[in-house]
Amino acid sequence: MRTEGDLERFFERLAAKWHEVPASRLERTSTRVLVSATDEDALAAWERARADTSDGIRGLRLRGWFHAVYGPWAAGKKILEVGPGLGIDGVALACAGATMTFVDVSSTNLELVLRVFSLKGLGRPESLHLQRVRQLDELATDYDAVMAFGSLHHIPADTGRPEFEALARRLKPGGRFIMHAYPFQRWIDEGQLPFDRWGEKTDGAGTPWAEWYDADKLIEQLRPTVFASVLYCEYRDGAMNCIDLIKVDGVPGLQQPAAGASAIARAIDVAALSVQPGWRAVATVDGSGSVLVTTPEEPWAYAATVPVHVDRIPADHTRGVVRVRATVRGGRVGFGIPAGNGAAFVTEEYLARDRHEHEQECFLEFDLAANPAALMIVRNASPSAGRSQVVVHSLDLFSL
């Protein structure tokens, strides 16, 4: 089991590397050198780096797009940035009206950022030289956003979990966790190297680690705090991605649909999932009680159905929720409840094969006024011909 000591020793390794920060599209510089420069020279070097990575059409593809999208949102927000480098993004957000706090394992990075803020008349932001993960708990818990532009993916996920969890606690309900990292497909394209070797391929000699992230992986990394995805996009021709999550905990209307709902006991029996005649599908119960469903090859073809006892929902309740827990082994599957007349689905959700091959869940919400049928259908939701396969672990009915 990884300990806080393991993480703090890794902080030392990161600090030895990450005083070297991007200064242009192709070059890096060391803040250990820049902090020794005169104010005039330091600010001139900073301005050259900002212009090269932010201005014009070329800059728009690197940092500029983020400033254009998030600048208007940042006004009046309290933002914690982890690993600010030269502080180019932090300055842009501060100029847009945000109150900034900076955390970095490199003391010279912070020294330079504070100096640039002063030279540009932006005041003195709060800062924290991170050497021990418990230092993060000294920070406030009312931040509107935690942002990490290419920093947190350089920590092994298992070692860095305490840091992710501590950062999640810094956010107010509804706060955003915005992380820029390397996409899964880039890791595939570059040879699926072990992460301790991939770092040197992506960021040069002395880089101790680089790990891919997507939205699902980041959500898992931030548990037990619950987050949901707001935005995922890739830029720089797939070299980088932006993962934008919202903190669900404590936000009315963003809680999982089953939260606070009444469970309807024995309303759905997962073992009753079965294939109807002519559907060319297979449903098999395994030793754990889960059901493996293999769909037909045709897109949208029905694969299996199971009774749902909507008649057991109390008369004073108006909504039902079916919680599906499943592992998709191939393709993409849909779970839906049709209308009583069979003309359309009153609710349908989809799950696709997960790169981590772990259990996923989705929620089928419906109004009783929509006259739902007393059954759920599993079907192939793959956009191209080919069988999909899903292991359905559990099905539960709730009402509100």
Both 238 and 266 in a single domain? no
Identify whether 348 is part of a domain.
yes
Residues 243 and 289 occupy one common structural domain = no
Note whether residue 332 is domain-resident.
Answer: yes
Do residues 361 and 391 lie in contact, with contact meaning Cβ atoms separated by under 8 Å?
no
Q: Looking at the structure, do residues 211 and 285 belong to the same domain, yes or no? A: no
Burial class (CB in 10 A: 0-12, 13-18, 19+), 361: middle
Q: What is the pLDDT of residue 237?
A: 94
13 occurs within a structural domain: yes
* Structure tokens that stand for 299 in this block: 């897109």
* pTM for the model: 0.83
Nearest Cα neighbor of 79 from 109, 94, 100 is 100
Do residue 267 and residue 216 come from a single domain?
Answer: no
47: tokens are: 């301005």
CATH number of the domain that 311 lies in? 2.60.120.430
Does 252 map to a domain?
no
Domain boundary pick from 214, 247, 280: 247
**Domain range enclosing 281:** 262-399
Is 253 domain-assigned?
Answer: no
Residue 254 included in any domain: no
Cβ contact 343:306 at 8 Å = no
Question: Which run of H or E residues covers position 41?
Answer: helix 39-54
Residues 146 and 101 in one domain: yes
Question: Which two tokens mark 386?
Answer: 């080919």
Q: Which value, in Å, is the radius of gyration of the alpha carbons in the chain?
A: 25
What's the number of domains the chain is made of? 2
Pairwise CA distance, residues 228 & 246, whole Å: 5
Q: Are residues 224 and 273 in the same domain?
A: no
**Cβ-based neighbour number of residue 31 at 10 Å:** 26
The answer to whether residue 271 is domain-embedded is: yes
- Whether 230 and 283 map to the same domain: the answer is no
Residues in a beta bridge with 180: 149, 242
Instruction: Report how far Cα 369 is from the mean position of its chain's Cα atoms.
Output: 35
pLDDT score at 357: 79
Q: How many whole angstroms separate alpha carbon 119 and alpha carbon 107?
A: 18
pLDDT of residue 26: 81
Structural domain ending residue among the three candidates 195, 214, 247: 247
Residues 6+ apart with CB under 8 A from 96: 67, 70, 71, 72, 74, 75
Q: Are residues 227 and 337 in the same domain?
A: no
Query: What does the angle CA 267 – CA 269 – CA 275 come to, to the nearest 5 degrees?
Result: 125
In the chain, the amino acid numbered 374 is A
The pLDDT tens digits along the chain (400 residues) read 567 789 999 999 999 999 999 888 788 999 999 999 999 999 999 999 999 999 999 999 999 999 999 999 999 999 999 999 999 999 999 999 999 999 999 999 999 999 999 999 999 999 999 999 999 999 999 999 999 999 999 999 999 999 999 999 999 999 999 999 999 999 999 999 999 999 999 999 999 999 999 998 999 899 899 899 999 999 999 999 999 999 998 887 776 666 678 999 999 999 999 999 999 999 999 888 999 999 999 999 999 999 999 999 999 999 999 999 999 999 999 999 999 998 899 999 999 988 777 888 899 999 999 999 999 999 999 988 899 999 999 999 999 9
Last residue of a domain, one of 247, 271, 294: 247
pLDDT at 148: 98
**CATH code where residue 198 lies:** 3.40.50.150
- Decide the pairing of beta strands 332-338 and 282-285: unpaired
318 & 342 share domain: yes
**234 and 316: one domain?**
no
How far apart CA 96 and CA 70 sit, in angstroms, is: 9
Same domain, yes or no: 27 and 150: yes
Buried/exposed 249-273: b ≥16 CB within 10 Å, e otherwise: beeeebeebbeebeebeebbebebb
For residues 355 and 393, state if they share a domain.
yes
End-to-end CA distance of the chain: 41
Name the one residue in this structure whose structure tokens are 């499943």: 326
Domain assignment present for residue 257? The answer is: no
Q: What is the largest CA-CA distance in the chain?
A: 80
